[in-house]
Amino acid sequence: MRLSAQGFISPPGTPSFPIAVRGEGVYIFDKDGKAYLDGSSGAVVTALGHSHPRVLAAMRAQMENITFAYARIWESRPDEELVRRLAELCGGKFDSAYFLNGGSEATEAALKFARQLAIARGEPSRHKVISRMPSYHGATLGALGVTGDPVMEKLFGPMMVPMPKIPAPITYRTPEGFDADSYVDYCAEALEEAIRREGPETVLAFIVELVGGTSTGALVSPDRYYRRIREICDRHGVLLIHDEIMSGAGRCGKFLASHYFPGAAPDILTMGKGLGSGYAPISALVTSSALVDELRAIGGFAHGHTYVANPMGCAIGCAVLDELVQSDLVTQSAAAGVYLEDQLRAVQKRRRSLGDIRGRGLQLAIEIVADQDTRQSYPFELNAPARIEHLMMERGLAMLHRRTGGGQFGEWFMVCPPLISTREDVDRLVDIIDDALGAFERSIDGKAS
């Protein structure tokens, strides 16, 4: 038996995946020519859709020049150009970037950068990075250490260094005794308590997604939460890291989710996914030249991978950002997100299994429930998300679902179509979601789907 990647990740008995052979715009086509709307942009990656002519042209042009130049020996024009474009779009103090291959690498780089800053500042006892439960910051062992997922921690815990966790300010299912507002305040104060409990002199950083990804189903907290955690970090000399691997590059209706909260800017941020839009593996650690200079003074950033600042990936990143700007796709994502959310709320009134809709821009999620009033999930063994996903695929819609912590935090689909999606694309997306949920509910009721 020979197994490809799908064989590694799929348990026995899992239906085979369709074979993708072509992509065009917001669609992927299988070997039989069937079209699937890319409803979650893969893993919330394909911001510009597939086979975008501008990006393909940039790829061809770069391939004809140079595809690899090792960053410890060479600089490259695409690297320099991508830093310049990012600095303009990120604004403020964010004028320096270090390019890697994916989100997990960007998290690892951010953690190591923060640690080396502490060393440079004469604070070697600072090594703990506080994060939230639930959360997701990557799949490497270092990134898993700051990821809040009990299942992953049980599986890989003996191999990694688990870091302190505080509760994420969940808004849909709050603990007994709280409403959404009071729980947000409680979770902000939990950061202060965790720093004091661990010892401020040992705490290095706090890492947080401003618009949640697959771990929280596009959770967004109010402005006061982000301002409060910024204040707490400042008071204790703790670095603030914004994980914008999913939300950055226009996905959430602004170029950065951080731009929604100007009073809570981070010290370090990470980007990925939409930065390369699926055309090349690329991510970034973004920070200020002032912080970089602190490391340069002690010998530079002690970190690296073979493909750091790869000229091919950087050239693609430049083309992606140029298209975002010149086609005004960030503004379009904000408007499309409002329209998409409105259409989903209409579906919510018809489909009892659609419990919550949340997010910002085109980074939205729908939570699946057995009862809208009690907000109870379906029994775990029913595997409702997988069944609904199958019904969506039958109808020509590819969607990403997640059950964080084995389902203890809920079950949801990421509704994150490409930023190039038209109103007609959104209507088709919503129609299929509506139809698939209806078929699922009828199957649960024992009626034909």
Where residue 10 sits, what CATH number does that domain have?
A: 3.90.1150.10
What pLDDT score does 368 carry? Answer: 97
User: Same domain, yes or no, for 436 and 334?
Assistant: yes
Q: Which two tokens stand for residue 285?
A: 């650690």
What pLDDT score does 61 carry? Answer: 98
- Helix extents (H) in 216-267: 223-236
Closest CA to 206 of 175, 235, 173, 247: 235
Amino acid at 211: V
372 part of a folded domain: yes
User: Same domain, yes or no, for 301 and 410?
Assistant: no
334 part of a folded domain: yes
337 part of a folded domain: yes
User: Same domain, yes or no, for 23 and 76?
Assistant: no
Computed from CA positions of residues 307, 309, 315, 321, in that sequence, does the dihedral angle turn out positive or negative?
Answer: positive
What pLDDT score does 243 carry? Answer: 98
What gap in Å lies between CA 256 and CA 234, rounded to an integer?
Answer: 21
Q: Does the N-terminal peptide bond of residue 200 adopt cis geometry, omega within 30 degrees of 0? A: no
User: Same domain, yes or no, for 159 and 126?
Assistant: yes
**Other Cβ atoms closer than 10 A to 354:** 22
User: Same domain, yes or no, for 249 and 360?
Assistant: no
**Host H or E run for residue 412:** strand 411-415
Domain boundary among 271, 305, 326: 326
Domain boundary among 326, 346, 380: 326
449 part of a folded domain: no
User: Same domain, yes or no, for 76 and 33?
Assistant: no
| Alpha-carbon torsion angle 111, 114, 120, 126, nearest 10 | -80
Q: Which strand ranges, in their side-by-side order, compose the sheet holding 411-415?
A: 354-360, 363-368, 411-415, 400-403
What pLDDT score does 449 carry? Answer: 55
What pLDDT score does 339 carry? Answer: 98
Closest CA to 252 of 241, 260, 262: 260
Tally of domains in the chain: 2
User: Same domain, yes or no, for 321 and 334?
Assistant: no
Work out the angle between the directed axes of helices 77-90 and 311-326 (0-180°, nearest 10). Answer: 40
What gap in Å lies between CA 447 and CA 34, rounded to an integer?
Answer: 28
140 part of a folded domain: yes
What gap in Å lies between CA 137 and CA 410, rounded to an integer?
Answer: 18
User: Same domain, yes or no, for 234 and 305?
Assistant: yes
The CATH code of the domain that includes 142 is: 3.40.640.10
What pLDDT score does 12 carry? Answer: 75
Which residues form the domain of 406?
A: 5-51+329-444
DSSP-assigned states of every residue in 156-207: HGGGS----EEE---SSSPPTT--HHHHHHHHHHHHHHHHHHH-GGGEEEEE
As averages over each run of 10 residues, the pLDDT of the chain (449 residues) reads 72 82 98 98 98 98 97 95 98 97 98 98 98 97 96 93 96 93 97 98 98 95 96 98 98 97 96 98 98 96 95 98 98 97 98 98 98 95 95 98 87 98 98 98 83
User: Same domain, yes or no, for 37 and 62?
Assistant: no
Domain boundary among 277, 311, 326: 326
Closest CA to 117 of 237, 263, 197: 237
What gap in Å lies between CA 23 and CA 35, rounded to an integer?
Answer: 9
User: Same domain, yes or no, for 322 and 350?
Assistant: no
User: Same domain, yes or no, for 346 and 309?
Assistant: no
